[in-house]
Every structure is written in structure tokens, then in C-alpha cells.
Chain A
Amino acid sequence: MAENASAPPLMIRGVTEPRLEVHKFRTGAVVGASALALVLQAFVPAKVWKGDVLADLIELPLLATLYFGLSRRNPSRGLLLGMVIGMAQDGLSGANPIGLFGIAKTLVGYLASTIGSRLDVEHPVSRMILAFMFFHLHNLTVVFSRRWLLAQPTPLMSVRILIASLVAALLAWPLFALLDKLRQDED
């Protein structure tokens, strides 16, 4: 994906806002980071002790989608990246039909890019809050997809989901800081 996009002045309710910085990443950084998140999510839990529990609590592909959506601030690119990551995650999981996480991460990518183009999401606390909220948005989308599209009864909320959302929020702080190192403009 080309990283040379420059965002035009944003018009919100007829008011021209200050232009937010659109971050560019090193060549292959987006693809590499996303692929790494997918691989870790798919294969590592099977190799470590209590890997299945770990896989339930940690959603690396979601955090990757969220981070790149917030950073690149392009809704189209964000939703396409979310769609690719989600479908790849479905394919690697072997248990989900392809498209289940794809739909959820498409929405996450689109909304994250939209929010990222309007808000400054560089602060660690805001990143944690966004990670927490987007985790639940992702979870709601998956639950409703299971219920309505697949006719699979799925609980809307549980302690595990709540813990996982907190884990995602906590994990977003160091992970996003690590991913910030891949930005081209910060070199």
C-alpha cells in the first residue's frame, strides 16, 4: 500500500479544522506488522502453556487494525486493511467462516480511520480508551454476526470479554508505542 497520501483540509460542520498529521510507515511495515500479529494470534497459543486462554484474552489483529487505522487516517485504506486482516484471521483460525472477523475488523478499520482523521489519538490514554471501546465494538459485531447471520446463540457480554477488553486496552499502550517506531516520519 502506498504511503504517500496527504490528507486535504478537513471540513466539519462548515468549519475548516487544523490539518492533522498523516503518518507514513516504512515500506512493508504495515504488511509485516499485520502478518506478524496474525501469525502470533494463530500459532503461538498452541505452542505455549495455556495458549488457548491467552488467545481468548489477546486480540493482536484487532490492535493492529486499530493502530494503523488511527495512524493513517484514511477510511478507505483502514477498512480495506481491516477486511484483509479479519479474513486472514478467519482463514487461519480454521473454526470461523471467512468473513466473520472480516466484517468486524472492516468496521473497526473504517471507524478508527474516521476518528483518527478528526482527533489526535497520539496520547497513550486516549489510545487505551479507544482500544477498550473498539474491542467491544468488535465483539458486538462478531456476536451479532453469529446470531443473525449464522444463527449461533452467542452471549453478548461475559467476564472473559470484559477482561479481554481490559487486556486489549493495557496492551495497546506498549504495542502502539512499539509500532510508532515503524513510522517513516519519525526516523
Chain B
Amino acid sequence: MFEIATRRKPYVLLAVSLVFQILLLAVQVRRPDGARLIRVWAVELLTPAERAGSWALDSVLGGWTGYVGLFRANRENQRLREQLGQMTLRNSELEGRAAEAQRLGALLAFREAHADAQLLAARVIGGAGAGRAIYLDRGERDGVQPNMGVITPQGIVGKVLEVYSSTSQVLLLTDKSGGAGALLAKSRTQGAAKGTGEHLLLLDYVSNEQEVAAGETVLTSGMDRIFPKDLPLGTVVEVHPGNPFKQIVLRPAARLDQLEEVLVLLSKQQWEWERAADEGGAGAPGDANARPAAKSAAPAAKKVDRPPAPGPAIVPAPAKAPESTPAKAPPKDKP
């Protein structure tokens, strides 16, 4: 067997012999730094393999780690998206609460500034038609009665039209049936503001000789016996000459399309009435157009017991159901 192996493949034996002796040399010889040559060779031989193995291992582990990280990132991304949605909702809620607190703060400040007036805070719970009537969460059991004024710190809103046990309907100034006694702040000229069915008001009964400029402030005159005097009513937008009176367009002071909380004037009507009575009846300007305000009520609504107004209330427009709301039977006056 040895004969065959050595004769057939002597170069194999040669290679084995040379490798054996080279390794033997490497074991004996030391480098100048003291390291055996075999160790140096082993390191030099194994280092590339080790690097390749390390690279392969790092690649595999890196790929796996990246995959796992991506999977986790995807899950975390979904979780964060859900959290973001919740936070956005929560943020909107908090913003709403903050705005509400601000509005309520303004209402409170206004109420404290008018401590002598009996004001009832109410929340707007609904609207009717094209927004020319609104519903409040206060009603008869809260002391609300028809023809009571409804205001905000920015300006007047309208008057109570219908009263139910726990809710009430408010006719906005801008309804064609709505209006209020008006007073030009600069000249102290009185007139009557009427609703147009749109977002603006018309100021009537101001003579052509009277100088009125756009931007002029218009206040309540108090002659309608619904709103106290000198409450903000609106601002003059346009002025046109007319016959026999000027045609003056007003923008309401209160943002009637953004109402959320309002104040109901609980005592104004009685106080006005008392003052008007003291002054010898309703002789204020505009009373030719005035009619008792509480003339209508919903059939389903519980009637409010209140003393009838002894004198004519000064209201610029007849108190009928708003054109934008379903027609309702007029309320019956109770003695």
C-alpha cells in the first residue's frame, strides 16, 4: 500500500513533508517581538476568516436586529398613531374646555361688573331654522320668562320668545321679527334696530339730517323695556340716504353665529317697566311701533305665570314666531 501511494502520488508526500517541516519551523522560531512564528501565522491565517465570520455574523445579526427593530418600530408606530389620535381628541377636548372656561370667565366678569342686574347664565343647546332662533337650557323653573333679554358680554343677542319648563327659545336680533331700541353712541340719536333675516341689522328712524358714519357704535336705548340702556348693540357698516329716514346697516356686536353661553336678564323687564311706570308710562320714542313682546308661545310649552305688562313694551318689531322657525300658536296672556 505504501509502495503504491508513494509511487503513484509522490508529490502528495512531498507536499506533506514540506508542510510538516514548515510548521515545525514555525513552532521553533520566534519573531523579534517574542511571538512564535506559528502563532503569528495562525493569527494571520485566522484573522481573515475570523473577520469574514464576524462580518457574516454581524450581517446576520444586524439584519435580524433590523428586522426585529423594524417590526417593533411598526408596532410602536401603530401604538403611537393610536396615542396621537387619542391625544388629538383629548387636546381638542381640552381646547374646547379652555375656550369654554374663557367664555364662562368673561360671562362671570360681566356678571360681576353688573352685580345689580339679575343675570342667569344659560347654555345654548340648539338652534332653529337658519340660526335666527336658539334654544337655551334654562326655562320656567329657572325663572326665565318671555320677553326677557338675552345678552353676552360682547353685546345683546335677542329676547326670550317661548318658555318651557327647562328650556326656552330665544329670538335673535337678526330675525325679521327681532329688534331692539337703539342709540347712536356718538350723537345719542335714538332709533330702532330691526332684523333682516340675514346676519345684519337695519337701524331705522334716524333722520337724513343726522350725520352718521360707518364704524360708529350703536348701543341699546333701553326704550324697548327688554334691554338695559347702553349695552353694545352693533356697529354701523353702511349708511345710505332714504325717505324719510336714513338706511343704516349694522353689524351685531355679539357673534350670533358663535353663541354657546349667554346671560338672561331676569330683572330688566320688571325694572324697566317700573322705571317706565315711574316716568309716567311708555312715552319713549318708538313706542308707536312697540307691542307687547310676549304674544306667542308654543302650544306644547307650559305657560309661564307672570304679571302682564301694564304698559306697552318698546319693541321695534312685533313679537311673533321667527320666520325661520315653525309657526307656533301665539301665547295667551295670563292675568
Q: Nearest Cβ in chain B — how far from A73, in angstroms? A: 11
Cα of A74 to Cα of B24 in the assembled complex, Å: 25
Q: Tell whether, in the assembled complex, residue B29 and residue A97 are in contact, meaning their CB atoms are under 8 Å apart.
A: yes
Return the contact of A77 from the options B6, B21, B32 (Cβ within 8 A): B6
User: How extensive is the interface on chain B, given as a class?
Assistant: 20 to 34
> Which among A5, A97, A100 has the greatest number of chain B C-beta atoms within 10 A?
A97
Q: Are A150 and B17 in contact (CB under 8 A)?
A: no
- Known A-B contacts A79-B17, A80-B17, A103-B18; the reply to A145 vs B10 at CB < 8 A is no
Which residue from chain B places its CB closest to the CB of A98 in the assembled complex?
B24
Residue A151 is within 8 A (CB to CB) of chain B in the complex: yes
B114 within 8 A of A: no
Which residue of the partner chain A has the closest CB to B26?
A149
- Does A76 lie at the interface of the complex (its beta carbon under 8 Å from any beta carbon of B)? yes
Is A165 interfacial (CB 8 A cutoff)?
no
CB neighbours (8 Å) of B117 from chain A are none
Query: Which residue of chain A lies nearest to B13 when distances are taken between CB atoms in the complex?
Result: A76
Q: How far is the CA of A83 from the CA of B17 in the complex (A)?
A: 7
Main secondary structure of the interface of B (DSSP, over half): helix
B70 is an interface residue with CB less than 8 A from chain A: no
Complex alpha-carbon distance, A155 and B165, angstroms:
123
Q: Is B28 part of the contact surface with A, judged by Cβ < 8 Å?
A: yes
Within B10-24, the residues touching A (CB, 8 Å) are 10-11, 13-14, 17-18, 21-22, 24
Residues 122-153 of A at the B interface (beta carbon under 8 Å) = 145, 149-151
Q: Check A74–B7 contact: CB distance below 8 A.
A: yes
Q: Does B31 contact A (CB under 8 A)?
A: yes
User: Which B residues lie within 8 Å of A107 (CB)?
Assistant: 14, 18
Name the prevailing secondary structure of the A interface residues. helix
How far apart are A77's CB and chain B's nearest CB, in angstroms?
Answer: 7
- For the complex, what is the distance from the CA of A62 to the CA of B194, rounded to whole Å? 134
**Cβ contacts under 8 Å, A99 to chain B:** 21-22, 24-25, 28
Q: Are A76 and B26 interface neighbours, CB within 8 A?
A: no
**Known A74-B7, A76-B6, A149-B37; contact A100-B14, beta-carbon cutoff 8 A:** no
Residues of chain B lying within 8 A (CB to CB) of residue A145: 25
Shortest distance between the CB of B13 and any CB in chain A (Å): 5
Known: A149-B37, A150-B29. A79 touches B22 (CB 8 A): no
Chain B residue, CB-CB nearest to A8: B7
Residues on A with C-beta less than 8 A from B18 are 103, 106-107
Cα-based distance from A110 to B12 in the complex (angstroms): 11
Say which residue of A75, A83, A97 sits within 8 Å of B25 (CB atoms).
A97
- Min CB gap B1→A, angstroms: 13
A66 to chain B, nearest CB (A): 16
- Please indicate the chain B residues that have their CB under 8 angstroms from the CB of A114 in the complex: 10
A87 at the interface (CB under 8 A from B): yes
Check if A102 is an interface residue, CB within 8 A of chain B: yes
Closest CB in chain B relative to A79 CB, distance in Å: 5
Is B17 in contact with A106, judged by CB distance below 8 angstroms? yes
Shortest Cβ distance from B41 into A: residue? A149
Q: B21 is contacted by which of A74, A76, A83 (Cβ under 8 Å)?
A: A83
Say yes or no: is B209 at the interface (Cβ < 8 Å to chain A). no
Q: In the complex, what residues of A have CB within 8 A of residue B22's CB?
A: 99, 103, 149
Task: Pick the residue among B13, B21, B29 that contacts A103 (CB under 8 A).
Answer: B21
Compute how far the CA of A103 lies from the CA of B26 in the bound complex, rounded to whole angstroms.
13
Q: List A53-82 residues whose CB lies under 8 Å from chain B.
A: 74-77, 79-80
Question: In the complex, what distance in Å separates the CA atom of A149 from the CA atom of B30?
Answer: 11
Closest CB in chain A relative to B58 CB, distance in Å: 34
Indicate if B257 sits at the interface (CB-CB under 8 A): no
| B3 located at the interface, meaning its Cβ lies under 8 Å from any Cβ of chain A in the complex | yes
Cα–Cα distance between A74 and B8 once the two chains are bound (Å): 11
Tell me how far the C-beta of A135 lies from the nearest C-beta in chain B, rounded to whole angstroms: 20
Q: A83-B21, A87-B21 are in contact. Are A75 and B14 (CB under 8 A)?
A: yes
Smallest CB separation, A105 vs chain B (Å):
10
Shortest beta-carbon distance from A149 to chain B in Å: 6
User: Closest Cβ of chain B: how far from A9's Cβ, in Å?
Assistant: 13
Cα–Cα distance between A107 and B6 once the two chains are bound (Å) = 15
Nearest CB to that of B7 among chain A residues?
Answer: A76
Chain B residues contacting A5 (CB-CB under 8 Å) are 3
What's the least CB distance linking B69 to chain A, in Å?
Answer: 48
Given contacts A79-B17, A106-B14, A110-B14, contact A100 B25 (CB under 8 A): yes
Q: List 14 A-B contacts (CB under 8 A).
A: A5-B3, A75-B6, A75-B10, A80-B13, A99-B21, A100-B25, A102-B24, A106-B21, A110-B10, A149-B22, A149-B25, A149-B26, A150-B37, A151-B31
New A-B pairs, 8, CB < 8 Å, besides A8-B7, A80-B17, A149-B29: A83-B21, A97-B24, A100-B25, A102-B21, A103-B22, A145-B25, A149-B26, A149-B37
Please provide the 8 A-B residue pairs with the shortest distance between their CB atoms, ordered closest to farther.
A76-B6, A75-B10, A99-B21, A99-B25, A97-B28, A99-B24, A76-B10, A102-B21
